[in-house]
């Protein structure tokens, strides 16, 4: 049961996380350095926003195409390691099991649209000085012939010299708080 719940949370993370690009963080390193020198959260967001938009637009295309594997590249390795440990498996096993489960779950489902609302982003800085942005997300799927709309949130945040993108939902915070306690405190 524990593995099933964990797997469902990882599936949720994969659905809303963006696939990576080899150069994804090169443009963002300047932002991280500047934020450490007094740059406000809003200034940091304005600087990284174009790159984050590109990455999130790519996830939309990949989700519609049924490509879930690339999403893991956006999640911090230490978070994946934590989730794998919780599920008593390796990171590779976690990834493979999640991809296999997503493929089975999507047999009767088709993601037809995945959009991000960049006009209503919540930007901030945690108590530890970590910059973040919470982006409203909308997903439209066809399930057994019915069109279903869902809403969620995606979070972009910095860790070290990199920015990552993850699903940001209440259920997900149970696990996030153990790896990133400052992010879990955001309301």
| pLDDT tens, position by position, 12-31 | 554 444 333 344 444 444 44
Q: What share of the chain in percent tops pLDDT 70? A: 80
Give the structural domain span for 19.
2-180
Q: Is residue 104 in a domain?
A: yes
Quick one: pLDDT at residue 181? Answer: 94
Q: Is residue 187 in a domain?
A: no
Beta bridge partners of 143: 109, 146
* Total domain count, the chain: 1
Using CA atoms, how far apart are residues 175 and 185, in angstroms rounded to an integer?
A: 12
The torsion angle over the Cα atoms of residues 32, 157, 182 and 185, rounded to 10 degrees, is 140
What 8-state DSSP symbol labels residue 186? -
User: Please, what is the average pLDDT of the chain?
Assistant: 80
pLDDT band at 102; cut points 50, 70, 90: confident
> Which residues contact residue 37 at a Cβ distance below 8 angstroms, ignoring those fewer than 6 apart?
none
Helix or strand or coil: residue 157? strand
Query: Of 38, 3, 34, 42, which is closest to residue 123 (Cα–Cα)?
Result: 42
Q: What is the mean pLDDT of residues 87-115?
A: 87
Helices (H), the chain: 2-16, 29-35, 41-65, 77-86, 91-105, 170-179, 181-184
Predicted model pTM: 0.78
Quick one: pLDDT at residue 28? Answer: 42
Q: Is residue 185 in a domain?
A: no
Q: Is residue 171 in a domain?
A: yes
pLDDT band at 169; cut points 50, 70, 90: confident
Q: Is residue 186 in a domain?
A: no
Quick one: pLDDT at residue 180? Answer: 94
Q: What is the mean pLDDT of residues 46-69?
A: 87
Task: Considering only residues 7 and 53, tell me which one the structure prediction assigns the higher pLDDT.
Answer: 53
Residues 4/12, Cβ–Cβ less than 8 Å: no
């Amino acid at each position: 049961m524990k593995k099933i719940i964990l797997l469902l949370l990882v599936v949720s993370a994969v659905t809303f996380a963006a696939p990576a690009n080899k150069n994804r963080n090169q443009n963002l390193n300047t932002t991280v350095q500047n934020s450490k020198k007094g740059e406000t959260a809003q200034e940091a967001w304005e600087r990284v926003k174009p790159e984050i938009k590109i990455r999130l637009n790519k996830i939309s295309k990949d989700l519609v195409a049924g490509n879930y594997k690339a999403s893991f590249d956006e999640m911090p390795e230490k978070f994946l390691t934590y989730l794998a440990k919780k599920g008593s498996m390796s990171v590779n096993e976690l990834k493979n099991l999640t991809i296999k489960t997503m493929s089975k779950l999507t047999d009767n489902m088709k993601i037809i649209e995945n959009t991000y609302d960049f006009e209503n982003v919540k930007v901030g800085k945690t108590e530890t000085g970590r910059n973040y942005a919470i982006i409203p997300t909308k997903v439209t799927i066809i399930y057994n012939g019915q069109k279903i709309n869902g809403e969620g949130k995606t979070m972009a945040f910095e860790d070290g010299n990199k920015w990552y993108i993850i699903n940001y939902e209440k259920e997900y915070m149970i696990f996030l708080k153990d790896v990133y306690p400052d992010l879990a405190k955001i309301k």
